[in-house]
């Protein structure tokens, strides 16, 4: 297993998430779907500290990248193999898990498409990164 590739995968979610959840892309529809106003600052008394949020997000991304690397395997695979499996994990595991939870939580379809779509791209990006190191 290429531990450097796994680390880069974990870091990559922040490079993906910054534009994905920005005003340039999906912040406004994501906020509306969550019943929030993106122009109103959040109450610091009810919001977790950013250091905690980003630390836990990085840890979870690191675990996900390791799990993905283990799932796809330690053998040498082609770039297409990594890309294919990244997309399948994003769509077939992450997106569908969000879809199940969002159905029971009565969340809007727009929120599923934004959050679930992010994870499809996340795991596809993991496939790209690991495939480039293959």
Is residue 45, in this structure, part of any structural domain at all? no
pLDDT, tens only, 68-123: 999 998 777 899 999 999 999 999 999 999 999 999 999 999 999 999 999 999 99
DSSP assignment letter at 25: T
pTM above 0.75, yes or no: yes
Band (pLDDT 50/70/90 cuts) for residue 47 is confident
Distance CA 122, CA 7 (A): 14
| Domain total of the chain | 1
Is residue 59, in this structure, part of any structural domain at all? yes
Is residue 13, in this structure, part of any structural domain at all? yes
pLDDT at 134: 72
Rounded to an integer, the average pLDDT of 44-51 is 83
pLDDT at 27: 95
Distance CA 134, CA 130 (A): 6
Is residue 95, in this structure, part of any structural domain at all? yes
DSSP assignment letter at 46: T
Is residue 44, in this structure, part of any structural domain at all? no
Q: What is the span of the domain harbouring residue 115?
A: 3-39+50-133
Is residue 102, in this structure, part of any structural domain at all? yes
């Amino acid at each position: 297993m290429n531990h450097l590739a796994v680390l880069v995968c974990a870091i990559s979610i922040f490079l993906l998430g910054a534009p994905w959840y920005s005003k340039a892309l999906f912040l406004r529809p994501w906020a509306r779907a969550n019943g929030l106003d993106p122009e109103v600052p959040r109450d610091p008394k009810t919001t977790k500290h950013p250091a905690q949020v980003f630390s836990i997000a990085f840890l979870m991304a690191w675990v996900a990248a390791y799990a993905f690397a283990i799932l796809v395997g330690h053998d040498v695979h082609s770039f297409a193999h990594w890309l294919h499996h990244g997309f399948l994990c994003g769509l077939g595991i992450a997106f569908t898990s969000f879809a199940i939870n969002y159905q029971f939580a009565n969340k809007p379809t727009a929120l599923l498409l934004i959050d679930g779509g992010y994870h499809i791209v996340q795991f596809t990006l993991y496939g790209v990164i690991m495939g480039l190191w293959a």
